[in-house]
């Protein structure tokens, strides 16, 4: 995928969805952080189902900490790895209160120092909550980046760095959402919908498919 392909690729995705949003439900930066932390190896649908109940009673670090691990587990037990996630989230709330005045920090270093928060989670919070140009590479973005030729790489970090280098600045803030949604609903793992894909002409895989047809 060359520079012109990349430009057209994102122009097309932007035209179809000018203001993309995460599918995780949240009403504050803390709720976003909690939802993303809970979403590891889980679906957004499953996380939303749990947090709709959880955030009614615990939508701040203080209220979450007051629940304690056992109380939190009762709300998130339908989510995979809920015990370890409850432990991390409670510990994160403690640090937010003690070190950040109950606020979610807006730097990568501070975010990654929170229990259960790795590079991907930090990137989501930096991008979605604070509007920073950050790229959280999940399985969808990793697949789309390699399949399309946008930013091939053998590891999530390699793909992330490739995307940050190749995506034009005008698209960077929203690119994370466009790529996830494209991977989730069009460029699927087993059966990519190339025939109905709006950016197939810009995609290395798509062009190959049409050439051989």
Out of 49, 85, 103, 120, pick the active-site residue. Answer: 120
Q: Is 103 a catalytic residue?
A: no
Q: Is 120 a catalytic residue?
A: yes
| Alpha carbon distance 164, 142 (integer Å) | 13
Q: Using an 8 Å Cβ cutoff, are 136 and 120 in contact?
A: yes
User: For residue 20, what are the CA distances in angstroms to 8, 14, 106, 109, 175?
Assistant: 17, 8, 21, 26, 9
| Alpha carbon distance 95, 87 (integer Å) | 13
Out of 49, 85, 87, 138, pick the active-site residue. Answer: 138
Q: Using an 8 Å Cβ cutoff, are 100 and 110 in contact?
A: yes
| Alpha carbon distance 199, 181 (integer Å) | 13
Which residues are catalytically annotated? 120, 138
């Amino acid at each position: 995928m060359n520079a012109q392909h990349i430009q057209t690729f994102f122009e097309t995705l932007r035209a179809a969805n000018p203001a993309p949003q995460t599918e995780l439900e949240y009403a504050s930066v803390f709720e976003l952080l909690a939802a993303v932390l809970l979403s590891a190896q889980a679906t957004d649908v499953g996380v939303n189902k749990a947090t709709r109940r959880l955030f009614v009673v615990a939508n701040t670090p203080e209220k979450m900490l007051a629940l304690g691990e056992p109380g939190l587990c009762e709300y998130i037990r339908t989510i995979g790895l809920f015990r370890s996630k409850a432990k991390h989230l409670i510990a994160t709330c403690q640090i937010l209160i003690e070190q950040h005045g109950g606020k979610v920090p807006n730097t990568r270093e501070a975010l990654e120092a929170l229990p259960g928060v790795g590079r991907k989670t930090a990137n989501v919070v930096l991008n979605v909550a604070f509007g920073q140009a950050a790229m959280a590479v999940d399985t969808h973005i990793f697949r789309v980046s390699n399949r399309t030729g946008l930013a091939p790489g053998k590891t999530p970090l390699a793909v992330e760095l490739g995307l940050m280098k190749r995506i034009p600045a005008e698209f960077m803030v929203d690119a994370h959402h466009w790529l996830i949604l494209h991977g989730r609903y069009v460029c699927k793992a087993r059966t990519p919908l190339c025939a109905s894909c709006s950016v197939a002409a810009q995609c290395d895989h798509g062009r190959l498919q049409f050439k051989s047809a």
